[in-house]
Structures are given as structure tokens and as C-alpha cells.
Amino acid sequence: MAQRNLLEKILKAGRQQFPSLFVLSFLTNLLLLVSSIYMLQVFDRVLASGSIDTLIWLTIIAVLAILSYGFLEFARRKILSRNSTWIVENLSPEILRRNVSARLKVGRSPASLGDVRDLRNFVGGDAILAFFDAPWSPVFIAIIWLMHPILGVIAVTGAVVLLTIGILNDVITRRPMAQSNAHMRQVYGDAEAFVHNADVLEGMGMTETVAQRWRQRYGEAEREGAGAVEAALILYNMSRSIRLGFQIAILGAGAALVLRAELTAGGMIAASIILARALSPVERAISAWKGFGSYRLAKAKLAHLFRITDAPADRISLEKPKGRLSARELRYLAPETQEALIKTVTFQLSPGQICAVLGPSGSGKSSLCRLLVGAWKPSFGEVRLDGADMQEWPSEERGRYVGFLPQDVDLFSGTIAENIARMGPVIDEKVLAAAQKSGAHDMILSLPEGYETQLGLYSDQLSGGQKQRIGLARALYGDPSLLVLDEPSSNLDGNGEIALQKALQLMKAAAQTVVVVTHVPSLLKQADKIAVVNAGTMIKFGDRDEILKDMIPKDRVPHQKPHAAE
Ligand SMILES: Nc1ncnc2c1ncn2[C@@H]1O[C@H](COP(=O)(O)OP(=O)(O)OP(=O)(O)O)[C@@H](O)[C@H]1O
């Protein structure tokens, strides 16, 4: 329950800091007047009276005030940086979890960790302070007005001109910058994918062509934003010059007023300093406004992500299932296209049964596997393990009883032992048992660091077959009741296949239910049942021998690869 409103909770916690930020901003802005008041007093009182004592006292008071200013400004920023750390630490893991959930549910996630960063940048950064400081600009301008209305008019004009330039800047640059940023993200994503596929690029001499294409797309994205950057730069420099211009104007007008004895010399200098203070929040408020735009967008995207994904369910402790698997009228529509990838699938397996799934390429075997392990939520129908609906079961709890070996195994950054232990706490005996059962133990020991071998991102230092064996050990970790293996031998050599055959025998002996996508005769021999899938429909399901008898012409030798759905 607490997790469901995490986003609101975090934003509310941020808002709760507003009163203290408001008070601190009031005090810091008040103390910002110290230097002008000091200047006013030195010029008009000390220089006129020649009193060293007054100067000393004034200086002591000014220094104390400036020190207090420093302390209060530090406190303001400390509150914000604490806020931003808290936001990132609490929200990021939750967003990562919901990203995974959204990817499986709707194909892609509406929000990313970049949105948490945008949220943090605004709530915990300078932008929000600009909002607290901005109301002080009119106060400073009013003080200048009180010194002399002519100076007040100059200050108001300065603020209006800077505000106009800022708004113009925002209007001109917002859209092209957003487009350029989106394209840049794509271009950098492409670059990462190219590096990841270095072997393909080098092996087929594609590197230069790909680099050329990339350079072209990078150039286009860069040029798209260049015009906006240039316009922003011109306007930024213009606003700086204009601000300095207004400061000179206020000094000049002040001097004229001094000559006409309508203002003191101290007042002239103080007005110039106060003007600088008055105009600075105006300039900052414009960039803060941009930050506010990103914040609002990020908040909306994150709220959408929270709406379409569920909070982690409370842990429930069901007994370990025996492995009775039933799929009833399963149907699955691709989230983005609504195309039916699985049309009708109904079957049941008893604990300890091995079911081989056959079917031509693209027939839906992998999709079926994802539905069986509960990674994909069926659009219609249900998958039950011992009567419990896979979708009703919290995935953390369910995962303890399910092992899944996908077609393409990717391992995560960490040691081999950690990967086998599913990135949780490593229980040595369980890791060893899983590795031995999968036939990966000897291979792991032959690596220089054995189970402690550190795998980097994409685990490039391992061969496809090695990854597959470790993936199988990961699936077997903790003796799950149901194992779903998608083409487990696609990267294995003869020895690997024999090891896999033994592993299947051990699973059967341990009464583990297994669904295995394979066309390999030696593995088919282990199966009790065979399911044949074609175009998303299970067209045949039954005892192995009966199905094979129907499929293989009598005059053909049994160890030939069966062509399932032809
Ligand atoms: N996320 C998805 N969105 C849309 N279509 C998808 C998605 N995943 C798979 N498909 C499509 O669903 C169909 C079945 O794919 P699936 O991977 O399940 O087939 P398969 O039988 O395992 O194929 P292979 O033997 O080649 O691995 C294919 O046409 C594929 O393009």
C-alpha cells in the first residue's frame, strides 16, 4: 500500500519542506540587502562624519550578517540536496521495477530513470530556489522606487526587458531543443548497440559503413539543435549586456540625481547593487521555468507509469507447488500491435512430466514460454501452477518455484555464483547443486576464477554455450517445481547435449515439471508429452510416441529431426 503512492509520497515530502525553504529564502534575501545598506551607511554617514568607531561597528555588523547569510544559504541548499538524494534513492529502484513490468505489459515503458533525474534536478536544484527568490525581485524594485521614482522606472524597465528576452529565448528554443535531444538519445543508443555488436561489424567489414551512417545521423541531430543553441547564446549574451547596461544607467541617473541633490552618493551606489539583486532572480526564473516544464513532463510520465503498473504485492507464502501445470484457453495479443501471437492453447501437465514443444520458426513457442512462466500476462485465459493463477502470485514469490531459460541468455554484472543465485544472496550448496545438475560445474571450475569469475555487462567473455549452461544452472537454482526451457541446446555441443539429457533425467527424477522447446531427438526421447504449435495455436498435444508416430512417416528413421507443423 505504502509503495503504491510512492511518487505522491515523495512529492508530498518535498512539498513539506516548502515552509522552511520559504523562511530561509526570506532571511537570505533580506540579508542580501546588507552590502547595499553598508555602502549607504559608509558613504552617507562614515565619510560625512569621519567616525572610525561607526565604521568599525558597521563593518562588524555587516560581516556577521554576511556570515549568517552564508550559513542560511548553506542550510537552504542542504535541505534541497538531502531531498534530491532521497528522491533518487527511493524512486529509482521502484521505477526500474516498474520499467520491467511495463515492458512486459505494454511493450515499452512511458517513463525512465531519466525522468527521475529531471524530477530531482528541479525539486533538488537551483531551479526551485529561483521560484523562492523570484518574489523578492518586486520587493527590491520597490526599495529602489522608494529611493527615487526615476530609479524605480529604470529598474522596472530592466526587469521587463530581461523577462521578455527570457520568454523569447524559451519560445524560440524549446521545440528544436526537445527534438534535437530526442534524436541525440536515439543516436547515442545506436552507438551503444554498434559497440555491443563489434564482432558482427568487424567480421563482415561493416564498421566503416555503419560509422558513416552514424556520423550522418549524428550530424543531422547536431544541426537540428545548433540553430537553437546559437539563438539561446545570442539572447543570453544580450541579456547579460542589457543587465550591465541597466546597472550603468541606474548609476548615471543616480549621479544626475546626486548632482541635483535629490539622492545621496550612498543611495546611488546602493541602488546599483540592489538592481543587480533584483534582476538576477528574473534571469534565473526563466531557466527555472524550463526546469519546471521538464519537471511537469517527467511527473506526468512517471504518474502514467505508476498507473499502468502495479505496486509490488504483499508477499504471500504458499506452500511449494508440486508442479501441476495447466494452461486454459490461453490467448495473447501483442501490446503494441494487438496482433494475436498466441491464439488458443489449452493443456495440462502432471508433476514430473516433461513436455517438448515443437513448431516452425515464428509459430509462437517462445511467446508460449513467456506466458507459462508468468512473464507475460495472458490477454485471455490463465496459467495455473497447482491451482494458483500465475498472475495473481507476486513474481518474487512465484519465481522461487519457477525456472526459466530463455532462448538468448544474458547474464548480469556480478560473479557467476551470483548469477546462478539469481542475483540474490549466494547460498553455496544451492549454487553448487544447480551447477552440477545443469552440467555447468566442470566448465565453471575450468575458468581461472571459477564461481567467483566476474561477468561484465553482456558477459562477453563467455561463449554462447557457456552462457547457456550457466543460464540453465540459474533456472535450476533452488529446485523449482516448474522449468521452462526455450531451445536449451541451441548453443551446446555433443557433450553439452548429453549433459542436458542427464539434467532432464534428474529433473524428472526430482518430479520437476518441464516444458522444453526443442527439436533435438535425444531430448525428445526424454519427453512424456509433445505439444505442437503452429501460427500461435496448439494443434497437437498428447503422449510422445503417439504424436511422433503421426508426424514421422514409418519409413523414416526416428532420430531425424521432426518437422512439426508441416
Ligand atoms: N513483443 C512482440 N511484439 C510483437 N510481435 C512479437 C513479439 N514477440 C514475438 N512476436 C512475433 O510473434 C511471433 C512468434 O514469435 P516467437 O518468438 O514466439 O516464435 P518462435 O516459435 O519461438 O520462433 P523461433 O523458433 O524462431 O524462436 C513471431 O511472428 C514474432 O515476430
Q: State pLDDT tens for residues 265-285.
A: 888 888 888 888 888 877 777
Residue 535's Cα: distance from chain center in Å? Answer: 35
* Amino acid identity, position 118: D
Whether residue 565 has pLDDT greater than 60: no
- Give the residue whose CA is nearest to atom 10 of ligand 1: 341
418 part of a folded domain:
yes
Task: Tell me how far CA of residue 316 lies from CA of 2, 3, 4, 310, 393, in angstroms.
Answer: 17, 16, 17, 16, 8
- Give the residue whose CA is nearest to atom 18 of ligand 1: 364
Residues 418 and 518 in one domain: no
For residue 351, name the pLDDT band (cuts at 50, 70, 90).
very high
- Give the residue whose CA is nearest to atom 8 of ligand 1: 367
- Give the residue whose CA is nearest to atom 2 of ligand 1: 334
CA 409–ligand 1 middle distance (angstroms): 16
- Give the residue whose CA is nearest to atom 31 of ligand 1: 362
- Give the residue whose CA is nearest to atom 7 of ligand 1: 334
Residue 459 has a pLDDT of 65
**Enclosing H/E stretch for 332:** strand 325-333
Among residues 424, 444, 476, which one ends one of the domains?
476
9 part of a folded domain:
yes
Residues 41 and 119 in one domain: yes
Residues 431 and 547 in one domain: no
Which of 187-196, 220-229, 268-277, 342-351 is the most confident on average?
342-351
179 part of a folded domain:
no
Residues 48 and 107 in one domain: yes
Residues 117 and 69 in one domain: yes
226 part of a folded domain:
no
Residues 383 and 487 in one domain: yes
CA 101–ligand 1 middle distance (angstroms): 19
Of 250, 280, 281, which Cα lies nearest the Cα of 267? 250
CA 365–ligand 1 middle distance (angstroms): 8
CA 198–ligand 1 middle distance (angstroms): 26
286 within 8 A of 167, measured Cβ to Cβ: yes
pLDDT tens track for 485-496: 999 888 777 777
253 part of a folded domain:
no
CA 357–ligand 1 middle distance (angstroms): 15
Whether residue 554 has pLDDT greater than 60: no
Task: Tell me how far CA of residue 285 lies from CA of 235, 296, 408, in angstroms.
Answer: 15, 16, 50
Residues 367 and 515 in one domain: yes
406 part of a folded domain:
no
Say how far apart CA 265 and CA 275 lie, in whole Å: 16
Mean pLDDT for all residues in the chain: 84
Residue with the three cell numbers 490463465? 382
157 part of a folded domain:
no
Of 230, 553, 535, 121, which Cα lies nearest the Cα of 360? 535
Question: Cell numbers at residue 140, please?
Answer: 527590491
Orientation of helix 52-106 relative to helix 126-133, angle to 10°: 130
CATH assignment of the domain containing 377:
3.40.50.300
CA 557–ligand 1 middle distance (angstroms): 31
- Give the residue whose CA is nearest to atom 29 of ligand 1: 362
The complex scores an ipTM of 0.94
CA 332–ligand 1 middle distance (angstroms): 11
Number of domains in the chain: 3
What is the mean pLDDT of the segment spanning 397-424?
Answer: 89
Residues 434 and 566 in one domain: no
Residues 38 and 129 in one domain: yes
pLDDT tens track for 187-204: 888 888 888 777 778 878
Which alpha helices (H) appear in 373-493, and where do they start and end? 395-399, 416-420, 428-438, 441-445, 464-476
Residues 381 and 517 in one domain: yes
CB burial readout 145-174, b (16+ within 10 A) else e: bebbebbbebbbebbebbbebbeebbebbe
As for ligand 1, residues whose beta carbon falls within 6 Å of it are 334, 337, 341, 359, 361-367, 407
For residue 50, name the pLDDT band (cuts at 50, 70, 90).
confident
* Amino acid identity, position 272: S
- Residue 87's domain comprises 1-133+300-312
Atom of ligand 1 nearest to the CA of 536: 14
- Give the residue whose CA is nearest to atom 9 of ligand 1: 367
Orientation of helix 126-133 relative to helix 113-123, angle to 10°: 30
Question: Cell numbers at residue 495, please?
Answer: 557433450
- Give the residue whose CA is nearest to atom 23 of ligand 1: 362
Task: Tell me how far CA of residue 378 lies from CA of 309, 326, 333, 412, in angstroms.
Answer: 15, 13, 8, 27
CA 337–ligand 1 middle distance (angstroms): 13
Residues 463 and 495 in one domain: no
Residues 372 and 501 in one domain: yes
Determine the residue of 108, 330, 366, 369 to mutate for testing ligand 1's pocket, defined as the one with the most ligand atoms within 8 A of the Cβ atom.
366
Of 515, 506, 484, which Cα lies nearest the Cα of 348? 515
Among residues 245, 280, 312, which one ends one of the domains?
312
Question: Cell numbers at residue 262, please?
Answer: 535629490
Say how far apart CA 3 and CA 5 lie, in whole Å: 5
State percent of the chain over pLDDT 70. Answer: 94
3-state percent breakdown (helix, strand, coil) of the chain, nearest 5: 65, 10, 25
CA 328–ligand 1 middle distance (angstroms): 20
Of 161, 113, 122, which Cα lies nearest the Cα of 289? 122
544 part of a folded domain:
yes
